Amino acid sequence: MKALFTLTLFLTFSHFLVAQVRQLEADQAPGKGNVEGLNWMVGYWTGPGLGGDCEEVWMPAVDGHMIGTFRFWEGGKLVFSEFMNLVQEGESVSMKLKHFGPDLSGWEDREEWTTFRLIELGENKVWFHGLTIERIGNEMIYQLALTQNGERKIEEFKFVRKGL
pLDDT(155) > 80: yes
Backbone angles phi, psi at 31, to 5 degrees: -70, 165
Least confident of 5-14, 98-107, 124-133: 5-14
pLDDT digits (tens, 9 = 90+) for 19-52: 588 777 778 888 899 999 999 999 999 999 999 9
| Per-residue pLDDT reduced to its tens digit, 73-105 | 999 999 999 999 999 999 999 999 999 999 999
pLDDT confidence of residue 85: 98
Find the domain containing 26 and state its range. Answer: 2-162
Who wins on pLDDT, 160 or 4?
A: 160
Tell me how many domains the chain contains.
1
> What value does the mean pLDDT of the chain take?
87
Global confidence as pTM: 0.83
Q: What is the pLDDT of residue 3?
A: 42
- Other residues' Cβ atoms within 10 Å of the Cβ of residue 26: 6
Q: How far apart are CA 93 and CA 34, in angstroms?
A: 6
Q: State residue 134's pLDDT score.
A: 97
What CATH number should be reported for the domain holding residue 67? 2.40.128
Q: Which of these, 71, 128, 125, lies nearest to 101 by C-alpha position?
A: 71
Q: What is the DSSP letter of 4?
A: H
Q: Is 60 helix (H, G, I), strand (E, B) or coil?
A: coil
Check: CB of residue 21 under 8 Å from CB of residue 15.
Answer: no
- In single-letter form, the type of residue at position 96 comes to K
pLDDT of residue 23: 77
Question: Is residue 65 within 8 Å of residue 57, measured between CB atoms?
Answer: no
